[in-house]
């Protein structure tokens, strides 16, 4: 695939957003977040989402100008009605408002409802950790995961990201609670590749390794009963604090025409223990330098492989297929 310089990709994405009526600073933020995902190799949260964002604006289920309505429900609890804004724009404004509060009282929670897709959660956790705050980020999604022992998708993929300041670069992990993403299943289906056993059920609730059949079925929770418990707990926690929709009622994270009614949660914490950053960096070095098991080249710290890829792509540019480039260009240069 041709490598396109980051600045050129960014310019194209920003132009497409502006053309759809997105204010400059909002366009820049949304574009940067999508491109950060591409640079990290998380294409499912990258530029392929841009056309859908633009269609959502056109369809009136995404308001490109709002930053959401923020209201403090107590000194440490920020409730946000996202007013159907751009996911990253609303979340960023909320985190911006909550950060000084976290510094003052020790921590702050941001509960957001009526907001569009956030994109990659790692972005927010990293942003906070670079600011010296520990961060727990949660967001819900349309039901794609079946309960452990169930036949039907009833739970979101409900990812969690955790960011922790260290003495050097922050620790950032980001994982969905499904064993694989629906993006990966679509990818396998398009290549006619069979799924691993245990990954998915078909529409009738029967186990399948046929990726095409899994597209209308359900993804297994990661790690069996424990991952199911965690994914469900995240969905309940987000809803209990945001009032977001639950399970099969959640819409608007994958389509172009329905209001997005999932919820987002950020907990920002600003009381690092003395010396903890250095101790954590030392400990992570021990893990990096540990002897690997057979079949592994080395022991990795979560998030670092994607961070390395990002550095590489920052220099070399993004591999973008001609097809995607044409699609993105059309968003800017062709008649609406």
In this structure, what token pair is assigned to residue 111? 């509960």
Q: For residue 151, what is the DSSP state?
A: S
Contact call for residue 309 and a second copy (CB under 8 A): no
Under the binding rule (CB under 8 A), the answer on residue 57 touching a second copy is no
The two structure tokens encoding residue 236: 């309940």
> What are residue 184's phi and psi, to 5 degrees?
-65, -40
Residue 40 sits at φ, ψ, to 5 deg, of -80, 0
Does residue number 303 form part of the binding site for a second copy (CB under 8 A)?
yes
Stretch 64-103 residues interacting with a second copy (CB under 8 A): 73-77, 79
- Its sign, for the CA torsion 56, 137, 216, 183, is positive
> Are 223 and 232 a contacting pair, CB within 8 Å?
no
Q: Which of 1, 3, 299, 330 binds a second copy (CB under 8 A)?
A: 299
162 has which bridge partners? Answer: 136, 173
By CB under 8 A, residue 293 contacts a second copy: yes
185-224 positions binding a second copy, by CB under 8 A: 201, 205, 207, 222-224
Name the minimum Å distance from CB 254 to a second copy. Answer: 20
Of 2, 60, 106, 194, the one binding a second copy by CB under 8 A: 106
Tally the C-alpha atoms within 13 A of residue 200's C-alpha that lie toward its C-beta: 27
The only residue of 197, 291, 334, 336 in contact with a second copy, by rule CB under 8 A: 291
Sites for a second copy among residues 144-173 (CB under 8 A): 146-152, 154, 160, 162, 164-165, 171, 173
Residues in Cβ contact with 277 at an 8 Å cutoff, skipping those fewer than 6 apart: 165, 166, 167
Which is nearer to a second copy, 72 or 333 (by Cβ)?
A: 72
Structure tokens belonging to residue 146: 């079946």
- Check residue 227 and report its DSSP letter: H
Out of 191, 192, 197, 296, the residue judged to bind a second copy by CB under 8 A: 296
Minimum distance between the CB of residue 322 and a second copy, rounded to whole angstroms?
33
Q: Which of 232, 318, 320, 328 binds a second copy (CB under 8 A)?
A: 232
């Amino acid at each position: 695939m041709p490598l396109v310089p980051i600045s050129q990709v960014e310019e194209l994405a920003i132009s497409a957003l502006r053309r759809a009526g997105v204010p400059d600073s909002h366009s820049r933020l949304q574009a940067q977040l999508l491109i950060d995902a591409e640079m990290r190799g998380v294409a499912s949260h990258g530029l392929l989402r841009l056309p859908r964002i633009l269609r959502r604006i056109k369809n009136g289920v995404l308001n490109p100008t709002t930053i959401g309505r923020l209201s403090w429900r107590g000194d440490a609890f920020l409730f946000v009605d996202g007013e159907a804004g751009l996911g990253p724009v609303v979340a960023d404004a909320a985190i911006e408002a909550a950060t000084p509060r976290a510094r003052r009282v020790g921590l702050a929670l941001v509960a957001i409802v009526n907001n569009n897709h956030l994109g990659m959660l790692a972005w927010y956790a990293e942003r906070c950790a670079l600011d010296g705050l520990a961060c727990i980020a949660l967001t819900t999604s349309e039901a794609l995961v079946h309960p452990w022992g169930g036949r039907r998708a009833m739970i979101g993929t409900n990812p969690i990201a955790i960011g922790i300041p260290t003495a050097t670069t922050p620790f950032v992990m980001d994982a969905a609670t499904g064993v694989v993403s629906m993006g990966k299943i679509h990818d396998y289906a398009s290549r006619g590749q069979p799924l691993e056993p245990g990954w998915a059920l078909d529409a009738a609730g029967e186990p399948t390794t046929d990726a095409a059949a899994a597209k209308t079925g359900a993804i297994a929770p990661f790690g069996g009963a424990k991952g199911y418990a965690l994914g469900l707990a995240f969905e309940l926690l987000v809803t209990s604090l945001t009032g977001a929709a639950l399970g099969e009622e959640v819409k608007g994270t994958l389509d172009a025409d329905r209001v997005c009614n999932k919820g987002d949660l950020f907990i920002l914490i600003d009381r690092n223990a003395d010396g903890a950053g250095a101790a954590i960096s030392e400990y992570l070095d021990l893990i990096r330098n540990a002897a690997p098991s057979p079949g592994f080249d080395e022991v990795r710290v979560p998030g670092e492989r994607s961070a390395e890829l990002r550095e590489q792509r920052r220099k070399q540019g993004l591999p973008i297929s001609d097809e995607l480039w044409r699609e993105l260009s059309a968003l800017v240069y062709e008649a609406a």
